Amino acid sequence: MMKPVNGFSKLSKKEKIDWLAETYLKEQPEDVRILRQYWNEDSRLQQLHDEFTENTLSNFYFPFGLAPNFLINDELLAIPMTIEESSVIAAASKAAKFWHSRGGFKAEVLDIKKIGQVHFIYSGDFKKLQSFFEEVKPKLLNAVKPITKNMEKRGGGILDVTLKNKNQALENYYQLHCSFDTRDSMGANFINSCLEKFAEVFEAEAHTYQPFSEKEKQLEIIMSILSNYVPQCLVRAEVSCPVENLAEGHEMSGTDFAEKFIQAVKIAEIEPYRAVTHNKGIMNGVDAVVLATGNDFRAVEAGVHAFAARNGKYSSLSHAEVKDGIFKFWIDLPLALGTVGGLTSLHPLVKLALDILQQPSAEELMKIVAVAGLAQNFAAVRSLVTTGIQQGHMKMHLMNILNQQNATEAEKLALTNYFTKHTVTHSSVIEQLEKLRK
Ligand code: MEV
């Protein structure tokens, strides 16, 4: 059996690669060349990327693209997107153009509250715990002053700290439930630093609190951490237009299209199997902008899906209706985003993405991301209820198949032309390519 490696992180990059080549890639020496091929020739830029994480061996490229023509609250924006899925940017751009001539997207931030919790166990009288909490709360808030000072200058800070009794669900379990306004930063470090300070002071004070019995004084902190569930950091994006204006790009009347579209959304509202895919389409847009702007897409994903299941059943994030002849399609999304701190000033492409978006505040970015999600969802559902999804998908996929087959530029041109009139399937592309090559 192979032995575990010790001190791997302390090896130089070259040594790490040598170890990898020796241990796992003996049969594929060309793989090591690929690692080097993806290094940036600008050594300072490479070092910057190396230092984002530990044990970096190389870079992993994703396309960085642009979806133009997004009219959002009457401002025309081009949205940078980082995504590998071939049809996403095309779909977003198409939806942007469609809604541009119908008044564009409207978006508003409904709330900006973020949550963090100190989880602790306490075995004793809850009333005593409540009195202790009331007494110690000013001390907690005072203890974090050095951390909150700058955030308060920017208009943010701690909004509230409450004591929560979770003893019914888990024996002896209680929380300090804290809410924060972190302004333009995602705020993870700020929130976690505040929570850890609360925890330290709270536990120390409990150990010497006279009214507590010896057992009660043993109050013990389990952990202190922000929550990625942010249902009160919420943004709404919507589009609307008279039903008859929906008759474009397909053969249905506006009314028929609206009916079928709304039916598709209703299915996603009540059927989890469909809801997950429906929401995946939304996340195609959301994640692409979240990534391009250097935000934490894992946090966003976790929070959004929890929100989609908030009523006890996983459901659609978007909704649609017709009222008085007006079609309306909207989405509410919980999004904890930042436009300062983190990667935003470090990663050159993130900086560029934020420049393209005209240096948005976190609230503006929330609106943009929600709009990208809604646009993506509109494009996907529109395809699904009209032509079907494969037509557009396979057209975009054609280039991937051609690249896999190392097609030349001339071959690509010939086959792209051919497939404007024929259905793309993997085997039909290979067949046509072989014919061409003969
Ligand atoms: C594919 O990435 C996304 C879709 O499946 C979304 C949907 O079904 O609504 C097309």
Q: What domains can be seen in the chain, in order of their start residue?
A: 8-50 (no CATH), 64-111+231-387 (3.90.770.10), 114-226 (3.30.70.420), 393-437 (no CATH)
Amino acid at 225: I
Q: Which two tokens stand for residue 123?
A: 């075995």
Write the CB contacts of 363 (distance below 8 Å, at least 6 apart in sequence).
Answer: 109, 112, 235
Per-residue pLDDT band at 423 (split at 50, 70, 90): confident
Write the CB contacts of 69 (distance below 8 Å, at least 6 apart in sequence).
Answer: 76, 78, 93, 96, 97, 100
Pocket test for ligand 1, best of 276, 278, 400 (most atoms within 8 A of CB): 278
Angstrom distance (rounded) from CA 137 to CA 131: 10
Q: Which two tokens stand for residue 7?
A: 């001190």
- The residue ranking higher by pLDDT, 334 or 86, is 334
Identify the bridge partners of residue 225 per DSSP, sorted by sequence position: 117
- Closest ligand 1 atom to residue 381 Cα is 9
Q: Looking at the predicted structure, is the pLDDT value of residue 424 above 90?
A: no
Q: Percentage of the chain surpassing pLDDT 70? A: 100
CA distances from 116 to 163, 182, 202, 270, 406 (A): 12, 12, 15, 31, 51
Give the containing element (helix H, strand E) for 269: helix 254-270
Would you say the CB of residue 288 lies under 6 angstroms from ligand 1?
Answer: no
Q: Average the pLDDT over 187-191 and give the result.
A: 96
pLDDT in tens, 295-352: 999 999 999 999 999 999 999 999 999 999 999 999 999 999 999 988 888 999 999 9
Q: Average the pLDDT over 363-380 and give the result.
A: 98
Identify the bridge partners of residue 76 per DSSP, sorted by sequence position: 71
Would you say the CB of residue 284 lies under 6 angstroms from ligand 1?
Answer: yes
- Closest ligand 1 atom to residue 282 Cα is 6
Q: Are strands 106-109 and 114-121 parallel, antiparallel or unpaired?
A: unpaired
Would you say the CB of residue 213 lies under 6 angstroms from ligand 1?
Answer: no
Would you say the CB of residue 280 lies under 6 angstroms from ligand 1?
Answer: yes
Q: Percentage of the chain surpassing pLDDT 90? A: 91
What spacing in Å lies between the alpha carbon of 280 and ligand 1's midpoint? 6
Per-residue pLDDT band at 431 (split at 50, 70, 90): very high
Which of these, 107, 112, 178, 110, lies nearest to 148 by C-alpha position?
178
Q: Looking at the predicted structure, is the pLDDT value of residue 394 above 80?
A: no
Q: Looking at the predicted structure, is the pLDDT value of residue 392 above 80?
A: no
CA 148 to chain centre: 26
Per-residue pLDDT band at 172 (split at 50, 70, 90): very high
230 and 303 in contact (C-beta within 8 Å)?
A: yes
Residue found under tokens 């997107």: 81
Phi, psi of 355 (to 5 degrees): -65, -45
- Closest ligand 1 atom to residue 88 Cα is 2
| DSSP letter (8 states) at residue 421 | S
Would you say the CB of residue 380 lies under 6 angstroms from ligand 1?
Answer: yes
Average pLDDT along the chain: 96
What spacing in Å lies between the alpha carbon of 274 and ligand 1's midpoint? 10
What spacing in Å lies between the alpha carbon of 281 and ligand 1's midpoint? 4
